[in-house]
Protein backbone atom coordinates (compact mmCIF):
# COMPACT_ATOMS: atom_id res chain seq x y z
CA UNK A 1 0.00 0.00 0.00
CA UNK A 2 1.38 3.38 -1.03
CA UNK A 3 2.47 5.66 1.82
CA UNK A 4 1.06 9.15 1.21
CA UNK A 5 2.19 10.58 4.55
CA UNK A 6 4.77 12.88 2.90
CA UNK A 7 2.01 14.42 0.77
CA UNK A 8 -0.23 14.85 3.81
CA UNK A 9 2.65 16.47 5.65
CA UNK A 10 3.14 19.02 2.87
CA UNK A 11 -0.60 19.75 2.93
CA UNK A 12 -0.44 20.27 6.70
CA UNK A 13 2.34 22.86 6.42
CA UNK A 14 0.65 24.54 3.44
CA UNK A 15 -2.49 25.07 5.53
CA UNK A 16 -0.38 26.19 8.45
CA UNK A 17 1.62 28.85 6.63
CA UNK A 18 -1.20 30.29 4.51
CA UNK A 19 -3.39 30.74 7.57
CA UNK A 20 -0.56 31.95 9.80
CA UNK A 21 0.63 34.70 7.40
CA UNK A 22 -2.45 35.83 5.44
CA UNK A 23 -3.48 38.33 8.11
CA UNK A 24 -0.21 40.28 8.16
CA UNK A 25 0.14 40.18 4.37
CA UNK A 26 -3.40 41.48 3.82
CA UNK A 27 -3.06 44.10 6.59
CA UNK A 28 0.38 45.48 5.80
CA UNK A 29 1.76 44.23 2.48
CA UNK A 30 -1.05 43.69 -0.06
CA UNK A 31 -4.07 45.40 1.47
CA UNK A 32 -6.23 44.53 -1.51
CA UNK A 33 -6.24 40.92 -0.30
CA UNK A 34 -8.33 41.84 2.75
CA UNK A 35 -11.56 41.21 0.82
CA UNK A 36 -10.36 37.65 0.11
CA UNK A 37 -10.06 36.69 3.78
CA UNK A 38 -13.38 34.82 4.02
CA UNK A 39 -12.93 32.69 0.85
CA UNK A 40 -9.28 31.97 1.70
CA UNK A 41 -10.09 30.70 5.19
CA UNK A 42 -13.09 28.80 3.87
CA UNK A 43 -10.70 27.03 1.48
CA UNK A 44 -8.29 26.29 4.34
CA UNK A 45 -11.11 24.82 6.43
CA UNK A 46 -12.09 22.60 3.51
CA UNK A 47 -8.48 21.43 3.10
CA UNK A 48 -8.31 20.75 6.86
CA UNK A 49 -11.38 18.52 6.64
CA UNK A 50 -9.87 16.79 3.60
CA UNK A 51 -6.64 16.19 5.54
CA UNK A 52 -8.65 14.72 8.41
CA UNK A 53 -10.53 12.40 6.05
CA UNK A 54 -7.19 11.14 4.69
CA UNK A 55 -5.42 10.66 8.02
CA UNK A 56 -7.84 9.95 10.87
CA UNK A 57 -8.38 6.21 11.32
CA UNK A 58 -8.83 5.80 15.08
CA UNK A 59 -12.38 4.56 15.66
CA UNK A 60 -12.77 6.47 18.92
CA UNK A 61 -11.73 9.73 17.32
CA UNK A 62 -14.16 9.11 14.48
CA UNK A 63 -16.94 8.25 16.94
CA UNK A 64 -16.37 11.46 18.92
CA UNK A 65 -16.41 13.55 15.76
CA UNK A 66 -19.57 11.84 14.55
CA UNK A 67 -21.20 12.48 17.94
CA UNK A 68 -20.33 16.18 17.76
CA UNK A 69 -21.67 16.47 14.20
CA UNK A 70 -24.95 14.80 15.21
CA UNK A 71 -25.41 16.86 18.39
CA UNK A 72 -24.48 20.19 16.80
CA UNK A 73 -26.70 19.58 13.79
CA UNK A 74 -29.65 18.51 15.96
CA UNK A 75 -29.37 21.48 18.33
CA UNK A 76 -28.87 24.00 15.52
CA UNK A 77 -31.31 22.77 12.88
CA UNK A 78 -33.93 20.86 14.87
CA UNK A 79 -34.03 22.62 18.23
CA UNK A 80 -33.42 26.15 16.93
CA UNK A 81 -34.74 25.89 13.38
CA UNK A 82 -31.63 27.22 11.67
CA UNK A 83 -30.84 26.20 8.06
CA UNK A 84 -28.14 23.64 7.24
CA UNK A 85 -25.97 26.32 5.63
CA UNK A 86 -25.97 28.24 8.93
CA UNK A 87 -24.92 25.09 10.78
CA UNK A 88 -22.21 24.26 8.22
CA UNK A 89 -20.71 27.74 8.58
CA UNK A 90 -20.89 27.64 12.37
CA UNK A 91 -19.36 24.19 12.73
CA UNK A 92 -16.13 25.59 11.25
CA UNK A 93 -15.41 27.08 14.68
CA UNK A 94 -14.98 23.54 16.04
CA UNK A 95 -12.76 22.06 13.32
CA UNK A 96 -9.62 22.82 15.31
CA UNK A 97 -10.62 21.46 18.69
CA UNK A 98 -11.98 18.18 17.30
CA UNK A 99 -9.63 17.53 14.36
CA UNK A 100 -6.19 18.90 15.30
CA UNK A 101 -5.30 16.18 17.81
CA UNK A 102 -6.39 13.19 15.61
CA UNK A 103 -4.51 14.63 12.61
CA UNK A 104 -1.33 15.20 14.62
CA UNK A 105 -1.59 11.71 16.13
CA UNK A 106 -1.42 10.35 12.59
CA UNK A 107 2.00 11.96 12.13
CA UNK A 108 3.21 10.86 15.58
CA UNK A 109 2.10 7.24 15.76
CA UNK A 110 4.46 5.66 13.23
CA UNK A 111 8.20 5.95 14.14
CA UNK A 112 9.45 6.73 10.62
CA UNK A 113 6.57 9.10 9.91
CA UNK A 114 7.14 10.82 13.25
CA UNK A 115 10.86 11.30 12.67
CA UNK A 116 10.26 12.93 9.28
CA UNK A 117 7.44 15.11 10.60
CA UNK A 118 9.22 16.29 13.75
CA UNK A 119 12.44 17.09 11.91
CA UNK A 120 10.49 19.21 9.44
CA UNK A 121 8.35 20.66 12.23
CA UNK A 122 11.42 21.92 14.10
CA UNK A 123 12.52 23.93 11.07
CA UNK A 124 9.03 25.34 10.48
CA UNK A 125 8.59 26.36 14.12
CA UNK A 126 11.94 28.18 14.18
CA UNK A 127 10.86 30.05 11.06
CA UNK A 128 7.53 30.81 12.73
CA UNK A 129 9.26 32.32 15.78
CA UNK A 130 11.52 34.41 13.56
CA UNK A 131 8.56 35.67 11.53
CA UNK A 132 6.72 36.69 14.72
CA UNK A 133 9.77 38.56 15.99
CA UNK A 134 9.80 40.65 12.81
CA UNK A 135 6.03 41.14 12.48
CA UNK A 136 5.29 42.00 16.12
CA UNK A 137 8.24 44.42 16.33
CA UNK A 138 7.10 46.11 13.12
CA UNK A 139 3.50 46.38 14.36
CA UNK A 140 4.61 47.71 17.76
CA UNK A 141 6.73 50.43 16.16
CA UNK A 142 3.92 51.34 13.75
CA UNK A 143 0.84 51.15 16.01
CA UNK A 144 2.17 50.90 19.55
CA UNK A 145 1.65 48.01 21.96
CA UNK A 146 -1.84 46.54 21.75
CA UNK A 147 -4.21 44.35 19.78
CA UNK A 148 -2.66 45.47 16.49
CA UNK A 149 0.44 43.42 17.41
CA UNK A 150 -0.92 40.05 16.33
CA UNK A 151 2.24 39.06 14.48
CA UNK A 152 1.83 37.27 11.18
CA UNK A 153 -1.81 36.50 12.11
CA UNK A 154 -2.63 40.20 11.72
CA UNK A 155 -4.67 42.68 13.73
CA UNK A 156 -6.61 41.57 16.83
CA UNK A 157 -4.62 38.33 17.22
CA UNK A 158 -2.29 39.47 20.00
CA UNK A 159 -3.51 36.87 22.52
CA UNK A 160 -3.31 34.03 20.02
CA UNK A 161 0.15 34.88 18.71
CA UNK A 162 1.56 35.17 22.24
CA UNK A 163 0.32 31.74 23.29
CA UNK A 164 1.43 30.20 19.98
CA UNK A 165 4.92 31.65 20.50
CA UNK A 166 5.15 30.07 23.96
CA UNK A 167 3.90 26.70 22.70
CA UNK A 168 6.34 26.68 19.77
CA UNK A 169 9.32 27.75 21.88
CA UNK A 170 8.47 25.28 24.65
CA UNK A 171 8.22 22.41 22.17
CA UNK A 172 11.56 23.29 20.57
CA UNK A 173 13.35 23.73 23.88
CA UNK A 174 11.91 20.56 25.36
CA UNK A 175 13.07 18.50 22.40
CA UNK A 176 16.50 20.12 22.20
CA UNK A 177 17.53 20.08 25.85
CA UNK A 178 19.53 17.15 27.16
CA UNK A 179 18.06 16.65 30.62
CA UNK A 180 21.23 14.94 31.88
CA UNK A 181 23.19 18.15 31.08
CA UNK A 182 20.36 20.61 31.61
CA UNK A 183 22.12 23.96 32.08
CA UNK A 184 24.81 23.39 29.47
CA UNK A 185 22.10 22.38 27.03
CA UNK A 186 20.00 25.41 27.99
CA UNK A 187 22.89 27.73 27.16
CA UNK A 188 23.51 26.12 23.80
CA UNK A 189 19.82 26.28 22.80
CA UNK A 190 19.19 29.91 23.77
CA UNK A 191 17.53 31.14 20.57
CA UNK A 192 13.94 29.89 21.19
CA UNK A 193 14.06 31.56 24.63
CA UNK A 194 15.22 34.89 23.18
CA UNK A 195 12.45 34.72 20.58
CA UNK A 196 9.87 34.97 23.37
CA UNK A 197 10.43 38.75 23.48
CA UNK A 198 7.57 39.65 21.05
CA UNK A 199 5.07 38.47 23.67
CA UNK A 200 5.90 41.56 25.74
CA UNK A 201 5.32 44.00 22.90
CA UNK A 202 1.60 43.44 22.42
CA UNK A 203 0.02 44.13 25.83
CA UNK A 204 -0.87 40.46 26.38
CA UNK A 205 -1.11 40.15 30.14
CA UNK A 206 -1.38 36.36 30.06
CA UNK A 207 2.28 36.32 28.99
CA UNK A 208 3.30 36.92 32.61
CA UNK A 209 1.61 33.65 33.53
CA UNK A 210 3.01 31.75 30.55
CA UNK A 211 6.63 32.76 31.10
CA UNK A 212 6.53 31.36 34.66
CA UNK A 213 4.86 28.18 33.43
CA UNK A 214 7.45 27.93 30.64
CA UNK A 215 10.46 27.74 32.96
CA UNK A 216 8.74 25.72 35.68
CA UNK A 217 7.87 22.95 33.21
CA UNK A 218 11.03 23.13 31.12
CA UNK A 219 12.85 21.21 33.85
CA UNK A 220 12.17 17.47 34.32
CA UNK A 221 9.89 16.60 37.22
CA UNK A 222 12.27 14.41 39.21
CA UNK A 223 14.14 14.39 42.56
CA UNK A 224 16.62 17.00 41.33
CA UNK A 225 13.87 19.48 40.39
CA UNK A 226 14.37 21.77 43.40
CA UNK A 227 18.13 21.92 42.83
CA UNK A 228 17.64 22.89 39.20
CA UNK A 229 14.94 25.39 40.20
CA UNK A 230 17.34 27.15 42.56
CA UNK A 231 19.88 27.53 39.76
CA UNK A 232 17.39 28.66 37.15
CA UNK A 233 15.59 31.11 39.48
CA UNK A 234 18.09 33.96 38.81
CA UNK A 235 17.61 33.44 35.06
CA UNK A 236 13.84 33.57 35.48
CA UNK A 237 14.05 36.71 37.62
CA UNK A 238 16.31 38.40 35.06
CA UNK A 239 13.96 37.57 32.18
CA UNK A 240 11.00 38.68 34.28
CA UNK A 241 12.67 42.00 35.04
CA UNK A 242 13.48 42.46 31.34
CA UNK A 243 9.88 41.59 30.41
CA UNK A 244 8.49 44.16 32.86
CA UNK A 245 10.96 46.76 31.60
CA UNK A 246 9.83 46.20 28.01
CA UNK A 247 6.19 46.18 29.09
CA UNK A 248 6.45 49.45 31.03
CA UNK A 249 8.11 51.16 28.09
CA UNK A 250 5.40 50.13 25.61
CA UNK A 251 2.14 50.00 27.58
CA UNK A 252 0.30 53.01 28.86
CA UNK A 253 -0.94 53.24 32.47
CA UNK A 254 1.34 50.41 33.51
CA UNK A 255 1.20 51.41 37.18
CA UNK A 256 -2.45 50.32 37.37
CA UNK A 257 -2.46 46.95 35.63
CA UNK A 258 -1.34 44.85 38.61
CA UNK A 259 -3.59 46.62 41.12
CA UNK A 260 -6.56 44.73 42.54
CA UNK A 261 -8.90 47.44 41.26
CA UNK A 262 -7.61 47.05 37.70
CA UNK A 263 -7.80 43.24 37.78
CA UNK A 264 -11.35 43.36 39.19
CA UNK A 265 -12.57 45.82 36.55
CA UNK A 266 -10.76 43.84 33.85
CA UNK A 267 -12.72 40.62 34.46
CA UNK A 268 -15.86 41.74 36.30
CA UNK A 269 -18.21 44.71 36.85
CA UNK A 270 -19.89 45.55 40.13
CA UNK A 271 -23.51 44.98 39.04
CA UNK A 272 -24.13 42.28 36.44
CA UNK A 273 -27.58 43.67 35.66
CA UNK A 274 -25.91 46.88 34.44
CA UNK A 275 -23.88 44.98 31.82
CA UNK A 276 -26.33 45.62 28.98
CA UNK A 277 -26.78 49.29 29.79
CA UNK A 278 -23.04 49.93 29.90
CA UNK A 279 -22.45 48.04 26.66
CA UNK A 280 -25.26 49.83 24.84
CA UNK A 281 -23.88 53.19 25.99
CA UNK A 282 -20.48 52.25 24.51
CA UNK A 283 -22.13 51.37 21.20
CA UNK A 284 -24.10 54.63 21.15
CA UNK A 285 -20.87 56.54 21.73
CA UNK A 286 -19.32 54.82 18.73
CA UNK A 287 -17.10 52.54 20.79
CA UNK A 288 -16.85 48.76 20.69
CA UNK A 289 -18.74 47.08 23.53
CA UNK A 290 -16.57 44.69 25.53
CA UNK A 291 -18.34 43.24 28.55
CA UNK A 292 -15.68 41.82 30.95
CA UNK A 293 -14.99 38.11 30.63
CA UNK A 294 -16.28 36.89 33.99
CA UNK A 295 -19.33 39.15 33.70
CA UNK A 296 -20.33 37.35 30.51
CA UNK A 297 -20.23 34.00 32.29
CA UNK A 298 -22.13 35.35 35.30
CA UNK A 299 -24.73 36.91 32.98
CA UNK A 300 -25.80 33.52 31.60
CA UNK A 301 -28.55 32.90 34.24
CA UNK A 302 -30.06 36.31 33.39
CA UNK A 303 -29.83 35.50 29.69
CA UNK A 304 -31.66 32.20 30.20
CA UNK A 305 -34.39 34.02 32.14
CA UNK A 306 -34.83 36.37 29.20
CA UNK A 307 -34.57 33.55 26.62
CA UNK A 308 -35.93 30.39 28.33
CA UNK A 309 -35.60 26.91 26.84
CA UNK A 310 -31.96 27.09 25.72
CA UNK A 311 -30.14 25.95 28.84
CA UNK A 312 -29.39 22.44 27.56
CA UNK A 313 -28.89 22.97 23.83
CA UNK A 314 -27.98 26.65 23.45
CA UNK A 315 -28.93 28.69 20.39
CA UNK A 316 -27.07 26.62 17.78
CA UNK A 317 -23.59 26.82 16.26
CA UNK A 318 -22.84 29.89 14.17
CA UNK A 319 -23.85 32.61 16.63
CA UNK A 320 -20.35 34.12 16.50
CA UNK A 321 -20.04 33.93 12.70
CA UNK A 322 -21.79 35.51 9.74
CA UNK A 323 -21.99 39.01 8.36
CA UNK A 324 -19.88 38.46 5.24
CA UNK A 325 -20.94 35.47 3.15
CA UNK A 326 -23.66 34.31 5.57
CA UNK A 327 -26.18 36.28 7.59
CA UNK A 328 -26.37 36.49 11.38
CA UNK A 329 -29.13 35.01 13.51
CA UNK A 330 -31.86 36.99 15.25
CA UNK A 331 -30.29 36.07 18.58
CA UNK A 332 -26.89 37.41 17.50
CA UNK A 333 -28.47 40.67 16.33
CA UNK A 334 -30.42 41.08 19.56
CA UNK A 335 -27.47 40.34 21.84
CA UNK A 336 -24.63 41.72 19.74
CA UNK A 337 -23.49 43.76 22.75
CA UNK A 338 -22.89 40.51 24.66
CA UNK A 339 -21.32 38.47 21.86
CA UNK A 340 -18.61 40.95 20.85
CA UNK A 341 -15.30 41.64 22.51
CA UNK A 342 -13.35 39.16 24.64
CA UNK A 343 -15.16 35.82 24.85
CA UNK A 344 -14.22 33.05 27.33
CA UNK A 345 -14.29 29.74 25.49
CA UNK A 346 -16.72 28.15 27.94
CA UNK A 347 -19.11 31.04 27.20
CA UNK A 348 -18.52 30.54 23.46
CA UNK A 349 -19.52 26.87 23.68
CA UNK A 350 -22.44 27.38 26.08
CA UNK A 351 -24.08 30.01 23.90
CA UNK A 352 -24.01 27.73 20.87
CA UNK A 353 -24.45 24.24 22.32
CA UNK A 354 -25.63 24.80 25.88
CA UNK A 355 -24.77 22.56 28.79
CA UNK A 356 -24.77 19.47 26.56
CA UNK A 357 -22.12 20.93 24.27
CA UNK A 358 -20.01 22.20 27.14
CA UNK A 359 -19.99 18.76 28.79
CA UNK A 360 -19.17 17.15 25.44
CA UNK A 361 -16.17 19.45 24.86
CA UNK A 362 -14.86 18.97 28.40
CA UNK A 363 -15.12 15.17 28.14
CA UNK A 364 -13.29 15.25 24.80
CA UNK A 365 -10.45 17.33 26.26
CA UNK A 366 -10.22 15.15 29.37
CA UNK A 367 -10.03 12.03 27.21
CA UNK A 368 -7.01 13.43 25.38
CA UNK A 369 -5.11 13.62 28.67
CA UNK A 370 -6.39 10.40 30.23
CA UNK A 371 -6.61 7.90 27.38
CA UNK A 372 -3.19 6.72 26.23
CA UNK A 373 -3.03 5.94 22.49
CA UNK A 374 -2.49 2.28 21.62
CA UNK A 375 0.78 3.17 19.87
CA UNK A 376 2.25 4.99 22.88
CA UNK A 377 4.57 3.58 25.53
CA UNK A 378 4.32 6.49 27.96
CA UNK A 379 3.71 10.19 28.38
CA UNK A 380 5.67 13.40 28.87
CA UNK A 381 4.02 15.07 31.87
CA UNK A 382 5.70 18.44 31.30
CA UNK A 383 4.26 18.85 27.81
CA UNK A 384 0.84 17.69 28.93
CA UNK A 385 0.80 20.05 31.91
CA UNK A 386 1.79 22.97 29.69
CA UNK A 387 -1.00 22.13 27.24
CA UNK A 388 -3.49 21.63 30.10
CA UNK A 389 -2.77 25.02 31.68
CA UNK A 390 -3.05 26.71 28.28
CA UNK A 391 -6.47 25.12 27.77
CA UNK A 392 -7.64 26.11 31.26
CA UNK A 393 -6.52 29.70 30.65
CA UNK A 394 -8.40 29.82 27.34
CA UNK A 395 -11.56 28.47 28.96
CA UNK A 396 -11.90 31.65 31.02
CA UNK A 397 -9.72 34.10 29.05
CA UNK A 398 -10.64 34.04 25.36
CA UNK A 399 -12.16 31.91 22.61
CA UNK A 400 -8.95 31.10 20.74
CA UNK A 401 -9.75 27.36 20.67
CA UNK A 402 -12.05 28.23 17.80
CA UNK A 403 -8.89 29.16 15.89
CA UNK A 404 -7.40 26.35 13.81
CA UNK A 405 -3.81 27.47 14.34
CA UNK A 406 -4.12 27.93 18.10
CA UNK A 407 -5.46 24.37 18.31
CA UNK A 408 -2.62 23.11 16.13
CA UNK A 409 -0.02 24.44 18.57
CA UNK A 410 -1.71 23.24 21.76
CA UNK A 411 -2.63 19.80 20.46
CA UNK A 412 0.83 19.44 18.92
CA UNK A 413 2.13 19.40 22.51
CA UNK A 414 -0.49 16.80 23.41
CA UNK A 415 0.25 14.50 20.47
CA UNK A 416 4.02 14.88 20.90
CA UNK A 417 3.75 14.18 24.63
CA UNK A 418 2.92 10.52 23.93
CA UNK A 419 6.18 8.63 23.49
CA UNK A 420 6.36 6.34 20.53
CA UNK A 421 7.10 2.69 21.37
CA UNK A 422 10.37 2.81 19.44
CA UNK A 423 11.37 6.23 20.69
CA UNK A 424 10.75 6.42 24.41
CA UNK A 425 13.42 8.98 25.24
CA UNK A 426 13.00 11.84 22.80
CA UNK A 427 14.40 14.77 24.71
CA UNK A 428 17.61 16.10 23.27
CA UNK A 429 17.75 13.63 20.38
CA UNK A 430 16.51 15.76 17.51
CA UNK A 431 18.38 18.68 16.01
CA UNK A 432 16.82 21.28 13.78
CA UNK A 433 16.82 19.95 10.20
CA UNK A 434 18.86 21.50 7.48
CA UNK A 435 18.15 19.49 4.35
CA UNK A 436 15.62 20.61 1.76
CA UNK A 437 13.92 17.24 1.83
CA UNK A 438 13.30 17.52 5.57
CA UNK A 439 12.12 21.13 5.25
CA UNK A 440 9.28 19.97 3.01
Nearest alpha carbon to residue 357 among 101, 98, 68: 68
| CB contact burial 364-391 (16+ within 10 A = b; e otherwise) | bbeebeeeebebbeeebebbbbbbbebb
Per-residue pLDDT tens digits for 349-401: 999 999 999 999 999 999 999 999 999 989 999 999 999 999 999 999 899 99
Q: Report the distance separating Cα 12 and Cα 73, nearest Å.
A: 27
Instruction: Spell out the long-range contacts of 262-265 with Cβ–Cβ below 8 A and sequence spacing 24 or more.
Output: 265/292
Cβ neighbours, 10 Å, residue 406: 26
Pair 421, 376: CB distance under 8 Å: yes
* Angle formed by the axes of helices 404-417 and 345-370, nearest 10°: 20
Q: Report the distance separating Cα 214 and Cα 186, nearest Å.
A: 13
Q: Give the C-alpha distances (Å, rounded to integers) separating 40 from 13, 19, 23, 399.
A: 16, 8, 11, 21
Q: What are phi and psi of 376, to 5 degrees?
A: -95, 150
Q: Report the distance separating Cα 73 and Cα 183, nearest Å.
A: 52
93: Cα separation from own chain's centroid: 12
Q: Report the distance separating Cα 179 and Cα 177, nearest Å.
A: 6
Q: Give the C-alpha distances (Å, rounded to integers) separating 304 from 56, 331, 333, 369, 416.
A: 38, 12, 17, 32, 41
Q: Report the distance separating Cα 192 and Cα 130, nearest Å.
A: 9
Taking the complete model, does pTM exceed 0.75, yes or no? Answer: yes
Cβ neighbours, 10 Å, residue 142: 10
SS (H, E, C) 28-46: HHCHHHHHHHHHHHHHHHH
Q: Report the distance separating Cα 312 and Cα 287, nearest Å.
A: 33
H or E stretch at 418: strand 418-420
Please give the chain's pLDDT, 440 residues, in tens: 688 999 999 999 999 999 999 999 999 999 999 999 999 999 999 999 999 999 999 999 999 999 999 999 999 999 999 999 999 999 999 999 999 999 999 999 999 999 999 999 999 999 999 999 999 999 999 998 888 899 999 998 999 999 999 999 999 998 888 777 777 777 888 899 999 999 988 878 788 889 888 988 887 766 666 666 666 666 666 666 666 666 666 655 544 555 555 555 555 665 677 778 878 887 877 777 778 888 899 999 999 999 999 999 999 999 998 666 677 899 999 999 999 888 999 999 999 999 999 999 999 999 999 999 999 989 999 999 999 999 999 999 899 999 999 999 999 999 999 998 665 444 333 344 444 444 44
Amino acid sequence: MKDNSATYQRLFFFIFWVGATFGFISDEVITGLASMRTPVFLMLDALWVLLACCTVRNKWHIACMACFIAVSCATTCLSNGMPLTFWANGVRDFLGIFLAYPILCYFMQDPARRERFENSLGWHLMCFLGVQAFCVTYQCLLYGAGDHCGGSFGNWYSGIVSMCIYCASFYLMHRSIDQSHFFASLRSNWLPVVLLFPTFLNETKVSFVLIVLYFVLLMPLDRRYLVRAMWILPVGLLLGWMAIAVYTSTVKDFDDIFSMEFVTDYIMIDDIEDAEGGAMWDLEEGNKADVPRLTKIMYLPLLHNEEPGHELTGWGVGQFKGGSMFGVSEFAERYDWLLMGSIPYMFHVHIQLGQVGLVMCVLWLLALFVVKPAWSSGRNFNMQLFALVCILIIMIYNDSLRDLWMCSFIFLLMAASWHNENNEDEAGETELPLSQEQQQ
